[in-house]
Each structure stands twice: as structure tokens, then as C-alpha cells.
Structure 1
């Protein structure tokens, strides 16, 4: 594509939201995603104020030979790749959230983060299927599947969606439901954001009056023992419990408790959808099977607290990650992970995490979306902070080493929301039949490849 015919004045005249161009005073702030490692250089940035702006922007971009990259908050911005021929369409001014407690439904504009959804739903003892951070955007997270603390009980967040509104490459505002635009509705639930610019989503909420959870931390030298005990314990848990285990080296920030700063630790995180007494009973066997912890920060929770149990940063940070899905976690896999990311490995990574799958995540329901289920036992995700070129290279190399170390136990597919790196092949993330169906729909609704997203569906050259 060429940007020679792009007329910024025409775009500004067609939309209400602000447009930023290279060289203008507001440019660097406009192009900055949450992930500070994503150095985005699009042709222009539009902060859309609603569907009318999106419709106008898609038309202007198409006439100018630009692509369009929808972006909300931008946690997953690292996967987008080069944007020099692209209009970056930010939805961060589209943040309205409505909760219908009686119907147990929420309607959320595309730029909203999960924290206000969790808070408003929690006022009615309801919970959304958000992930481990309240700062993550609802739209991008949900389009990629959505793997959160209630997922083993209720499944992926994409499976709770009841309607999605989006502007497709032809400039049409469409509403996709099980009855209306059913193929789009299927694809958008876990198949990613390649099919249009989402403007709003509607989804189910779930009863959750109280929960129990938090994190338990041990010295890193106990990683092997803790991870093996964790594996045995996790296999006994009901679907109402979701867990993680992480090899961590937390930065020496004031918000990090002093005993946990800048030392290797191993952490088990958990959420029990139930009362404190039953939660403590479920956790007791893990504590009995492990050495005394450095810190035990597990306790009663309300529904809105779940958005911050994981302790993810609440302000923008740089990060690069890599992932794999694992079919199983034998002793050899644990030993391999500890060797490459544990206390004595010299790893520059911030975290090497295993998220327990199974339960509802492994059951594909009738009418499910493009992802529907995850056919694996654990999701592995490693992340590091690229503080300068040398550290960035060391982080990338260690991420490669982590994924290579667990290669013998990898599942054949991946998970879109953990696929952080640009230039990835979407065919690696889905089974063959699903990927072919997604490509067929992309060819139908966007044959010129106008809409781009992380790990986009690349149409074969004609």
C-alpha cells in the first residue's frame, strides 16, 4: 500500500476525535501503548469518540491506501508489527460501561478496561470473566479468548459474549450475535481482531458473592519442591478453583513487600469461588506439602478484587513475552523450567508462569466460538522487562530458551492473547480447520486486508 494519497485534513474534517500526526506536539503521547516496549510509528493516530468516527476513519483510510489497526489500551501492542502504512485507531475515549444486574449482562464500549466492569458488577455480587489485570482492555482480551480467574468454572471470556458491534472494512456498522451475522459472531469469539473495528461488546455476568484467594510465596531455592507439590495439589481441585505457579524475580519497587524484592521466589496464586472457610480447607493440603512460605497473602475477597490478585503493574511498563501450551507437566518439565528460569539460572526474566487449565476450559460447548476451549493442561507464559538493548536481547534469548525447554510437552496449538511477538503465524495458534474457516471469513469481509491486528490473518497473495 502507499500513503501518498493520505490527506490528514480530510480525516480531521470527517471525525470528532483528535487526529495526531508525526512531528506534532501530541504525537508521542498519542502513539504510546500501555506496553512501553511497543515503539509504534503509524501514519497517523485517531482517538475515536464513537462508531461514527470509526466508520469515517475506515472510509478515509481505504481511499488513502492505508490499513487500519484498532487499539484500545495496548497491552498486546508488541504483536502488531510495523505500522508505517497504517492508521492507528485508538478507542480509549470509548469507555462507557453499563451493567444490567437483573439480566446479569454488561454492555461495554471497546476502549474500556476491566477494572470499572469488575467494580460495577461487584456492587451486585456479580463477576465478569476478566483476566489477571484490571488495566487490560475488555475488547482485545475478549477477542483473543480471555483466560481469567473464573475460567475453569465458566470457560473463556469469549464464550460469555452475547453480542459484538463492529465496523467492517466496507464501512458498515454490524451487530454480530448467534442469530445475526453468525459467522462473524463465531470468529470474533477467540479468533482475534482481524475482522473489523469493534465498537462495543455485550456479555454475561456470573454470581459471585465472595471468594478466597491471593498468593503464597517461597524462596526460589524451593522451586522444584513447590512446583511438584503444586502439580499434585492442582490435580485434585474442583473447577471452582483456578491457580497459577510462577518463578519470579520482582523488581525493587516500594509497592513490592521487602522480603520479596529482587530475590528469586516461587509463587502459587489462586482464586476459590467460594467462602473463606471452604477456601482455606482447599489450600491446606498445599501448605502441608511444601516448606514454610516467605509470605502467605491469601484471604477473603470480593468480586472486584479478582482483577488485582495477580499483582500485575497498574501503570504502563515495557514488557516482552513468549508462550506455549503444555499437554502435561511431568517432573522432567518442571526440572527443565527450573533449570532455565529458576533461582540459579541467571534468568533476566521477571516471571515464568504456568496457568492451570482444565475444567470448563477443556469442554467445547455447542455454539462455541472460534477458540471455544483450550486442549491443554497448562498455559506457560514468560515475560521480561527490556531495559536497554543488551537486556532486551538477553530477555528474548531466555524466552526462546524457556519455550524450547518445554518443547517435548507442548500442545500443537497456542493462545492468541499470550502470543506477544510481532510477525507470528496465526496458523500456529489454531487447528487447521479453524484457521481455514477464519481465513475464509477474512477473505469475505476484508479481501484487501484493510484491518490489521496482532498475529493477523494474512490472506495469500492472489
Structure 2
């Protein structure tokens, strides 16, 4: 019998986890077991994930048993697939990791079915021979389920919309311990809530979604010296305002560490500005349009070219290996010259910013239009998203990130992105009052005992 203090509401649990172990095929571990640390470890090493027990589910039936066990023993449950998005205060007594649910089937006619443990890279590679691509994230090492249920704002978003707009069906063990299949016609209320509601309703075991025909793209990242950031961003703002929906773009101020051998030497130990670009149409037209940005200032590294979709990670150049990060973000209604100046004062050249990068993504285009089926995603009206990431133990990194958010308040508005939500008390800010009420009502129906820890983040 294990007695461990819960992080979610500081309860002690005397739950007989041996009972759960006897009724499941996956590995169950508690603190002190050899398998425990490897099973609970998240991508962000700064976040402490220490549940009373963790079950590595091998089947959907394992998940059913885990949730029913939680209901019997008054435990809070948290799902974790690939470990990219945990919030420490929402880790319940029982963590269910679904990373071993690795089913992946790509259908040549244009859709895929995957288990909850599958990352985007696998679908990208298996879809490529058919000229198909998923609406994957800014790095294909991210898990599909967490990214998609948070909306899924990817590098082709202005052309094709959000990942949730392509979802066909979701199989989920809801908080009452039932395995259900949610579609636009089967449990439509659940289908609405799962697409945008993250893990509030249950633990997803599989998801089905449409692919797009996109064998290649014109794009990548163009790098400038940080001293030219003000001029380049001014040019980028005017250029992106007229950019057709075939183009998706963002900018990021980088300070690359010198101890990463994957970083090109020209980018090391200096502030740089990256302009990211994905053009989904004719490559010659995409190149012609991008010429304006190439001419904005001297280029120090040019990686914008015609590429197969399998090279999509080259656009955002996100880090692959786990890191101890402090993350902060919001959404902006606009990003005028005054906002650019305020951001550069804190995060630009000469600012002594401790952030590894500060990113601004242009939204709009297909993102702004509701998909065929309504969802619990309320951020479509945002003009831009803002994200900063720094090394967690860097001096002053958290206070500095807060100062950036404070400086951007005049242009902050709308509902935050669920995937760029980093604390439990921020979740409610991602939804309108109408959506919050629908989510709460759906939680009451499908999780009457409230065992899903994430669902508690939006309760009054």
C-alpha cells in the first residue's frame, strides 16, 4: 500500500495500486520502482511530475481499468502521452501514460488513424509516399493527441486551418470509465468538447483525422542579425498584411546556446532574428513573394527553399532534446509598430534578455474561420500569438517573461491558446463564458465524480 501526497489538492492516498496492477497489462509503478522515473518524465525537465502511481497503458482496456479504479478510490487522474504539455498543479494521484498506444495507419485516400502515443513524425513519413501531409505542429517530435486537442496551430495553419478542423473521430475513455467514440454524429457534445478542451473530459486512446495533399512546400527560415531586427520586423509586418492564405509566417528572436552542436556556428552566441515561412502553392510564386523579406537586410543564413514536407521541422527549428524550460505566452489583437518597439526594448538587441527565443506568429487566414464542425476553441479571432521560452534556472527569466506580457498588455486580447497555457489558472482564459458552460456541462455528464484532474481547472 502506497501513501503519497498529491500535488493537485494535497490529499493523501491509500489506494491499493496492486489491485490496478493485477487488472491491467501495462506497467504500473510507484515512487521507488525502477520504472517510475522513466515513465513520468516530461519533455520539460523543469516541471515536476510525481504522481502516487503511473500506469503505462498497453491497451484501451488498460485505460478503462485505470479510470474505473480512480472512481472507486476517489483519485484524480491525469493523462500523459508524449510528455510535452504537463502542468505540475494538474498532476493527479494517478498518471496514465498512453505513449505505448502506437497504432498508426495512413490511408492513401487521405486520412489517418493513430494511437495516443504516436508523434507527428511517424505520420509525416508514412503519408509522404502518397503526396499527403498532416497538419502537424512546429516540430514533428510532438505528440498528435495533446497538440490536436489544444487546437493545433501549425506551420500551414493560414492555408488549411487548425488540426482540430480535420478530426474525424476521437476514441476516449471518459471520466466515468466508459470507452466512447466521439464523432460529429456520435456523442456530438463530447466531440465538441474534446477538440479544444485538452484532457478535461477523459483519456484519448485513438484519433482519426484527414490529411491534405501537400507533397512539398516552399519555405524554411531566413536569419538576420539582431541589430537589424527593427527594420526587418517593420518590413515583415507590411509584407505579411498582404500575404495570401497560401502563406503562413512567424518571426522569432533567438539567442542560441553554444553547447548545442546542431546549431550552425553563424547563429551561436549572438542575437538573431528568424523569419519563418511556409508557402503551400506554386514555388516560383512563393519565392517571388518572399523576395521582399530577403531584401530587408543582410541575410546571415538562408534556409528557405523548395522542400519535401518531410523537411517541415526546418521552418521553426524548435529544440528536439528535453530541456528545463520556463514558458510564457498570450495572444495579441494586433502587433503595430508601438508593440514591436515595446517587445524589442525587452527582448531585442542590448536588452540583456534571458529568453532563448521570443516568437510572434501571424494568425488569420483559415485559422479565423470555424471548421465544418463547431469546437471548444475560441482563439480564432486573435491576430497574433506570442510565446517566450527561456532556460528555467537562468537568473531572472520568469520575472523577465512577466515583464514582456505586461508590456504587451495594450495589444493583448481575446482568448489564449490552450496549447500555450502553462498554469492551471490560465485555462479558463482560453474560453468564452458560453464555451466554459458547455465544457462544464459536458464534464458533469461524462465525468460526474470529477476524476479528471485537468477538468478541475475550469470549475468556478
In 1, the alpha carbon distance for the partners of 2:241 and 2:162 equals 20
Q: Give the corresponding residue for 1:223.
A: 229
Match of 2:16 among 4, 7, 27: 7
Match of 1:24 among 27, 33, 55: 33
Match of 2:150 among 120, 144, 151: 144
Offset from partner CA, 1:409-457 (integer Å, 9 cap, x none): 112311110112x23242211112111211111122113220123x854
Show structure 1 runs of 5+ residues with no match. Answer: none
Q: Give the corresponding residue for 2:324.
A: 318
TM-score, length-normalised on structure 1? 0.94
Provide closer, same or farther for how the CA distance between residues 106 and 356 of structure 1 changes in structure 2, counting only shifts above 3 A.
same
Q: Give the corresponding residue for 2:4.
A: none
Task: Specify the SS of the correspondent of 2:424.
Answer: coil
Q: Give the corresponding residue for 2:277.
A: 270
Mean Cα deviation higher: 440-449 or 225-234: 440-449
Match of 2:64 among 30, 37, 55: 55
Q: Give the corresponding residue for 1:402.
A: 404
Q: Is contact 2:378-2:415 (8 Å) kept?
A: no
Offset from partner CA, 1:148-195 (integer Å, 9 cap, x none): 011111111011101000001221100000000000001111122100
Q: Give the corresponding residue for 1:347.
A: 353
Q: Is contact 1:161-1:203 (8 Å) kept?
A: yes
Matches within 5 A, 1:68-147: 68-77=77-86, 79-81=87-89, 83=91, 85-102=92-109, 104-147=110-153
Question: 1:274 Cα shift?
Answer: 2.7
4+ residue runs of structure 1 moved beyond 6 angstroms?
A: none
Q: Is contact 1:153-1:359 (8 Å) kept?
A: yes
Matches within 5 A, 1:363-378: 363-371=369-377, 374-378=380-384
Q: Give the corresponding residue for 2:289.
A: 282
Q: Is contact 1:130-1:307 (8 Å) kept?
A: no
Task: Specify the SS of the correspondent of 2:388.
Answer: strand
In 2, the alpha carbon distance for the partners of 1:452 and 1:257 equals 42
Offset from partner CA, 1:217-266 (integer Å, 9 cap, x none): 11111111111111111111111111110111011111101010121111
In 2, the alpha carbon distance for the partners of 1:432 and 1:45 equals 34
In 2, the alpha carbon distance for the partners of 1:65 and 1:315 equals 36
1:327 matches 2:333: yes
Offset from partner CA, 1:60-88 (integer Å, 9 cap, x none): 122222111001111111x24253x5211
Q: Is contact 1:61-1:67 (8 Å) kept?
A: yes
Matches within 5 A, 1:356-435: 356-371=362-377, 374-386=380-392, 388=393, 391=394, 394-420=396-422, 422-435=423-436
Matches within 5 A, 1:229-240: 229-240=235-246
Q: Is contact 1:449-1:459 (8 Å) kept?
A: no
In 2, the alpha carbon distance for the partners of 1:340 and 1:126 equals 41
Q: Is contact 2:26-2:55 (8 Å) kept?
A: yes
In 2, the alpha carbon distance for the partners of 1:150 and 1:223 equals 24
Offset from partner CA, 1:267-303 (integer Å, 9 cap, x none): 1011111343222112111222x11111111111112
Q: Give the corresponding residue for 1:446.
A: 447
In 1, the alpha carbon distance for the partners of 2:88 and 2:370 equals 29
Mean Cα deviation higher: 354-363 or 272-281: 272-281
Provide closer, same or farther for how the CA distance between residues 153 and 246 of structure 1 changes in structure 2, counting only shifts above 3 A.
same
Offset from partner CA, 1:9-40 (integer Å, 9 cap, x none): 11110110101111122222121011111111
Mean Cα deviation higher: 172-181 or 272-281: 272-281
Q: Give the corresponding residue for 2:6.
A: none
Question: 1:372 Cα shift?
Answer: 6.3
Q: Is contact 1:132-1:308 (8 Å) kept?
A: no
In 2, the alpha carbon distance for the partners of 1:195 and 1:423 equals 15
In 1, the alpha carbon distance for the partners of 2:458 and 2:236 equals 40
Q: Is contact 1:449-1:458 (8 Å) kept?
A: no
Number of equivalenced pairs = 450
Offset from partner CA, 1:379-414 (integer Å, 9 cap, x none): 11111111x3xx2x6111111111111100112311
The CA RMSD measured in Å over matched residues stands at 1.5
Q: Give the corresponding residue for 2:298.
A: 292
Matches within 5 A, 1:161-310: 161-252=167-258, 253-288=260-295, 290-310=296-316
Mean Cα deviation higher: 15-24 or 57-66: 57-66
